[in-house]
Amino acid sequence: MRIVIALFDRFTALDAVGPYEVLRFLPGAEVVFAAAEAGPVRNDAGSLVLTASAAFADVGSCDVLLVPGGPGSRALLDDDVLLGWIRRMDGVSTWTTSVCTGSLLLGAAGLLTGLSATTHWGAVDVLESFGATYTAERVVFQGKVVTAAGVSSGIDMALALAGRIAGQTAAEAIQLVIEYDPRPPFDAGSPAKAPQAAKDFLAERIR
Q: Where are the domains of the chain?
A: 2-203
Q: Is 62 a catalytic residue?
A: no
Arithmetic mean of pLDDT over the chain = 97
Q: What is the reported pLDDT for 204?
A: 85
pLDDT over 80 (residue 206): no
Alpha helices in 48-101 (DSSP H): 71-74, 80-92
Q: What is the reported pLDDT for 107?
A: 98
Nearby residues of 172 by Cβ (< 8 Å), 6 or more positions away: none
- In terms of residues, how long is the chain? 207
Among candidate residues 23, 100, 145, 165, the one labeled active-site is: 100
Q: Quick one: average pLDDT of 119-125?
A: 97
Q: Convert the pLDDT of each residue in 146-160 to its tens digit.
A: 999 999 999 999 999
Q: What is the reported pLDDT for 207?
A: 55
Q: Convert the pLDDT of each residue in 46-85 to its tens digit.
A: 999 999 999 999 999 999 999 999 999 999 999 999 999 9
Q: Quick one: average pLDDT of 175-200?
A: 96
Rounded (10°) CA dihedral 152, 207, 42, 28: 20
Q: What is the reported pLDDT for 2?
A: 98
Distance of CA 193 to the CA centre of its chain: 23
Q: What are phi and psi of 31, to 5 degrees?
A: -105, 130
Is the domain spanning 2-203 CATH 3.40.50.880? The answer is: yes
Q: Quick one: average pLDDT of 182-197?
A: 95
